[in-house]
């Protein structure tokens, strides 16, 4: 069944109970706007900006979105994109798209204007919902975007080139449109990218979404009494699929804007959160703040917090040792997944297996895993090979890219491109990545994009960008730069030049050296990684 049926069930059974809460600690006001009627409501000054909706209002809003889309001619193959920061409107719009029978297409909010246009064209997007943070980017490519698309603005003051979300849904019915959506229907397109940096559109059926919801609820035993704190961006499969545990159980979720340790603790305390998904940098920041005394546990109500889980990048065992010293009663879990496998959960550690910290875990609920050699044959236990996964959450294909699809989908198995090994107890450990993508603080950085930018500098002869170990972010981008003969260059010059890149793509370390290439002209990145890796930060700790 489609996941929208859970929303309808929750509206009937828990209609007056709170479903979603939006918190923005950096925006403190004495007034706020309610979701339901946008009337002004008093709020004390010591609280963050806060909005909430019940399950019944959530369902009504999703129905209004669905009916509005259907009135605008949306059909089953229509692609509807979302380019918004986390907010109370995000999930009702997403669920409304699914209720209309259309295909939901979340966009990364870090996309540049050109990337927005590229992904809209690649996924054949017909309608784009966007928030106020993206007006400038949209406007710079609006002529091309509007050729065949409807732009819908979700915010206070609608720009002239778009239509107002509020006005469009105001008079639409809040009754379920009754579209018959089946598990076999296409449901969503997410974006990924390989080492080339060009996004690939990942097509999933409704069965995949349902699988993600069931896996998350099963792994973490999410109950109606739980409250999930969601901090990562909802465009990411990880954040949304973890929230789906709340959808299945009809429990509350908090969308927190901001990652400061005090914000996280305050949200957990005020909203009585029981489950928190963190990225490694945020957990590291919390521990550092506790160590320094800037953050004091006794200032908050944290006793109800039962589960901390981490995903999106390898987790240093030392971090978990430190965490358990402060929170000895916490359950802990880590998840491994890809957008091609509908996000986290195809491999997970399991709360009962904290003694195996360092492993990514065992096959997730309903999933199969195998590790194969270059010929597709399973390797012996303890040998390294490519990790492959199989289950109902595997993507249908890379949309409009049969060649790339054929490379990773073979006999129902998804070839992840990650090198792994299995220990005698059946636990899977990541060894290395076949792809050169850099995972920094849970975000993917694509070396070719950064290299292409740096090569525009008139003093740079050659450049290679690799991931370097970092105790907080997991990896940082390091640029090995070869300067043209007869020229001199400083780190400051490179850093100034890199201001033209988005902040998260800028190299954190500049190294002036020769860039080695093999006889076919390819950069020898394994050699560079070995040469510049920081000894002791990778693979040294395997026990708690």
392 occurs within a structural domain: yes
According to the model, what pLDDT value does residue 32 have? Answer: 42
According to the model, what pLDDT value does residue 415 have? Answer: 97
517 secondary structure, DSSP code: B
The partner residues of 445 in beta bridges, in order of sequence, read 438
13 occurs within a structural domain: no
According to the model, what pLDDT value does residue 541 have? Answer: 31
228 occurs within a structural domain: no
pTM for this model (two decimals) = 0.83
Q: Which two tokens stand for residue 502?
A: 């988005």
What CATH number does the domain containing 340 carry?
2.30.38.10
Q: Within a 13 Å sphere around the CA of 95, how many CA atoms are in the beta-carbon half?
A: 28
Domain count, the chain: 3
> Containing domain of residue 100, as a range?
38-212
According to the model, what pLDDT value does residue 521 have? Answer: 53
- 10-residue block means of pLDDT along the chain (544 residues)? 97 98 80 38 59 98 98 96 97 98 95 93 97 97 93 97 97 97 97 67 98 96 98 90 97 96 97 94 89 96 96 77 95 93 93 91 97 95 94 98 97 93 94 75 82 89 90 92 91 95 92 79 79 51 30
491 occurs within a structural domain: yes
Residues 60 and 141 both lie in one domain = yes
Residues 484 and 411 both lie in one domain = no
Residues 499 and 374 both lie in one domain = no
According to the model, what pLDDT value does residue 459 have? Answer: 93
Residues 403 and 476 both lie in one domain = no
What CATH number does the domain containing 165 carry?
3.40.50.12780
According to the model, what pLDDT value does residue 386 have? Answer: 93
Burial of 287 (0-12, 13-18, 19+ CB in 10 A): middle
Helix runs in 280-424, H state only: 280-292, 317-326, 402-408
Report the C-alpha gap between 486 and 472 in whole angstroms.
38
According to the model, what pLDDT value does residue 195 have? Answer: 40
Query: Within 10 A of 493 (CB to CB), how many other CB atoms are there?
Result: 13
316 occurs within a structural domain: yes
224 occurs within a structural domain: no
Domain final position from 413, 433, 453: 433
According to the model, what pLDDT value does residue 484 have? Answer: 87
Residues 475 and 429 both lie in one domain = no
155 secondary structure, DSSP code: S
According to the model, what pLDDT value does residue 433 have? Answer: 66
The H or E element containing residue 462 is strand 460-470
Report the C-alpha gap between 253 and 271 in whole angstroms.
9
Residues 319 and 412 both lie in one domain = yes
């Amino acid at each position: 069944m489609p996941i929208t049926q859970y929303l309808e069930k929750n509206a009937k059974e828990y209609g007056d109970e709170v479903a979603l809460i939006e918190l923005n600690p950096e925006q403190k006001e004495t007034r706020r706007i309610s979701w339901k009627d946008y009337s002004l409501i008093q709020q004390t000054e010591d609280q963050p900006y806060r909005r909430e909706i019940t399950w019944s209002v959530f369902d009504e809003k999703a129905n209004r979105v669905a009916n509005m889309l259907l009135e605008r001619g949306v059909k089953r193959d229509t692609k509807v994109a979302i380019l918004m920061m986390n907010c109370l409107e995000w999930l009702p719009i997403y669920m409304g798209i699914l209720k209309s029978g259309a295909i939901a297409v979340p966009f990364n909010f870090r996309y540049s204007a050109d990337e927005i246009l590229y992904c809209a064209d690649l996924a054949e997007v017909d309608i784009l919902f966007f928030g106020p943070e993206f007006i400038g980017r949209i406007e710079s490519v609006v002529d091309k975007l509007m050729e065949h698309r409807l732009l819908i603005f979700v915010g206070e003051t609608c720009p002239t080139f778009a239509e107002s979300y509020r006005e469009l849904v105001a008079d639409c019915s809040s009754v379920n449109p009754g579209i018959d959506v089946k598990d076999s229907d296409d449901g969503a397109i997410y974006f990924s990218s390989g080492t080339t940096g060009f996004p690939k559109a990942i097509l999933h059926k409704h069965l995949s979404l349902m699988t993600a919801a069931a896996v998350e609820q099963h792994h973490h035993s999410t109950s109606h009494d739980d409250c999930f704190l969601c901090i990562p961006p909802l465009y990411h499969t990880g954040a949304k699929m973890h929230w789906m545990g709340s959808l299945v159980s009809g429990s509350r979720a908090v969308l927190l804007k901001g990652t400061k340790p005090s914000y996280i603790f305050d949200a957990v305390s005020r909203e009585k959160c029981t489950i928190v998904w963190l990225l490694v940098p945020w957990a590291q920041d919390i521990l550092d703040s506790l160590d320094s005394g800037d953050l004091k546990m006794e200032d908050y109500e944290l006793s109800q917090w039962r589960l901390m889980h981490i995903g999106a990048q390898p987790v240093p065992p030392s971090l978990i040792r430190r965490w358990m010293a402060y929170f000895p009663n916490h359950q802990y879990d880590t998840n491994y997944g890809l957008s091609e496998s509908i996000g986290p959960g195809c491999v997970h550690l399991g709360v009962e297996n904290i003694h195996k910290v360092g492993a990514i875990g065992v096959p997730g609920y309903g999933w199969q895993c195998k590790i194969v050699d270059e010929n597709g044959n399973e390797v012996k236990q303890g040998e390294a090979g490519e990790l492959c996964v199989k289950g109902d959450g595997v993507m249908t294909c890379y949309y409009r890219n049969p060649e790339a699809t054929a490379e990773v989908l073979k006999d129902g198995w998804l070839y992840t491109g990650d090198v792994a090994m299995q220990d005698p107890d059946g636990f899977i450990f990541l060894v290395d990545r076949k792809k050169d993508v850099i995972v920094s603080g849970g975000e993917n950085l694509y070396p070719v994009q950064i290299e292409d930018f740096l090569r525009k500098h008139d003093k740079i002869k050659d450049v290679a960008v690799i991931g370097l170990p970092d105790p907080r972010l997991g990896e940082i981008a390091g640029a090995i730069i070869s300067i043209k003969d007869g020229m001199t260059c400083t780190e400051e010059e490179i850093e100034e030049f890199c201001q033209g890149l988005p902040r998260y793509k800028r190299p954190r370390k500049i190294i002036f050296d020769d860039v080695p290439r093999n006889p076919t002209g390819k950069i020898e990145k394994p050699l560079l990684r070995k040469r510049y890796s920081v000894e002791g930060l990778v693979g040294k700790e395997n026990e708690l």
